[in-house]
Chains A and B, each alone.
Chain A
């Protein structure tokens, strides 16, 4: 309080002469503006809240405007924020004892027995790949913090082949010119679309092992996607088909109002 100068004292202690007409006019106009602003905010909110949902496509279930913002956010955080960062990795001692099972959509125990991965290449030709072929490829071990869109996270340990290595082995250069990779369970009931850049991230793996053991059925045997730069909803269990597309492939949770990109 010691440093107050003359102007401050003038403003807060002396003020200016009281003019009743001026005071009434300012009070009226100010409250009118506040009231009008409040009414505008109320109607603006009502309009947004009761806005029709987006038309159904690769995404659905969100209000039109909000879906627009989610898609714009993707541009900001995927394109404008530089860097292809690595997710933090952890020592084996940090791994959680029982990894959480949080969904069984599309899982089919009968499909594990004579499972083959259907790889849809350019021109629509399909290659069937056995789990033995995949296990013969270079193996990558990854212990990272798995993050669920619900808000929980767990340090989990997975192993498999990097998708980048897989793509190299099966000569997918042409296919990877597409902007998106689509993955589906054998029964087609769960499906995700992932941007090709995220699929080629060095920590994205097609996993066949959890904690050093073959993946159990409820965790997506025999092969599942582990992609640390995405929420769990994109980490599709029991991959049946992999395909490539310039358009956004259908995505189970994006059709239920969630962000398509779901990037971390």
Chain B
């Protein structure tokens, strides 16, 4: 006995799919800008483990000497990225969808149970509505990250006009580091997100396009008159 679950409202699906190319353009143009001054690396014990970015990366993706182009794209698409993000947050507030998105006081403990379940260590996942606890934390965190990108971006874009923002983020240099680190965060989010979507399967993916998920209802939960139909 199949049932149809209306999972994602149409507005959220639009925001989601519009955000994807916008964020992609922001990351790409951001790399064009970062190339012009690229000192960041991850070092342990005097050895560089990760360099952002190696020359082969710049060569392969045609990043070299495109600072002005990167700035032009970045400072145009920032508006679209910001507007889409603000409308999404506004929508979740007005529609009440935030109730399924924000972590509640149980989410922190439950998120561990979800992870243990995902890793096949624990047999049962905690009961959930639209999202499980780990999803609530991830999807809320990525919005906070988006806000962080906008604010650190504004701080390094207009550091004199918004000198108080620069102060909040620990100075111009540190604001640029946070801005960069958040971008790495999106890339990691993207990788995990894609893996999870593939693992979750077609029904779940389709819901982000059509809005609905199909659910097999076990017979015993049906009322007696439904069973006789």
Footprint of B on A, CB under 8 Å?
1-4, 8-9, 11-19, 22-23, 26-27, 30-31, 34, 37, 41, 45, 61-63, 65-67, 69-70, 73, 77, 81, 83, 85-88, 145, 147-153, 228-229, 253, 256-259, 263-264
Q: In whole angstroms, how far apart are the Cα atoms of A73 and B72 in the complex?
A: 11
Contacts from B to A (Cβ < 8 Å): 1-7, 17, 21, 25, 33-34, 36-37, 67-69, 71-73, 75-76, 79, 99-100, 104, 106, 110, 126-130, 158-161, 163, 166, 172-173, 176, 206, 209-212, 214-215
| The one of B17, B37, B73, B215 that contacts A151, using a Cβ cutoff of 8 Å | B37
A11-B6 in contact given A70-B75, A88-B163, A256-B68 (Cβ < 8 Å): yes
CB contacts (< 8 Å) of A147 on chain B: these are: 159, 172
Q: Please tell me if the beta carbons of B67 and A16 are within 8 angstroms of each other in the complex.
A: no
- The contact of B161 among A73, A77, A253, by CB within 8 Å, is A77
Q: How far is the CA of A264 from the CA of B127 in the complex (A)?
A: 51
Which residue in chain A gives the minimum CB-CB distance to B69? A257
Chain A residues, Cβ within 8 Å of B33 = 151
Q: Is the CB of B211 within 8 A of A26?
A: yes
8 Å CB contact of A15 from B6, B76, B79: B6
Known pairs A8-B129, A15-B215, A18-B3; A34 contacts B75 (CB<8 A):
no
Residues in B neighbouring A63, C-beta threshold 8 A: 72
Tell me, in angstroms, the Cα distance from A70 to B78 when the chains sit together: 11
A150–B68 CA distance with the chains assembled, in angstroms? 9
Across the interface, name the chain A residue whose C-beta is closest to B133: A1
With CB as the reference atom, state the residue of chain B lying closest to A254. Answer: B68
Return chain B residues, CB-CB under 8 Å to A150.
36-37, 67
B4 with A16: CB separation less than 8 A: yes
Shortest distance between the CB of B222 and any CB in chain A (Å): 10
Q: Which residues of A contact B3 (CB under 8 A)?
A: 14-18
A3 is contacted by which of B1, B21, B72, B104 (Cβ under 8 Å)? B104
Contact partners of B128 in chain A: CB under 8 A: 1
Contacts of B129 in A (CB 8 A): 1, 4, 8-9, 12
**From A3, A30, A87, A148, contact of B37 by CB (8 A):** A148
Distance of B26 from chain A, by nearest CB (Å): 13
25 contacts between A and B (CB under 8 A): A1-B128, A1-B129, A2-B106, A4-B129, A8-B129, A12-B7, A13-B5, A15-B4, A15-B5, A18-B2, A22-B4, A23-B4, A26-B212, A41-B21, A61-B68, A69-B76, A77-B161, A81-B158, A88-B163, A147-B159, A150-B36, A257-B72, A259-B72, A263-B161, A264-B159
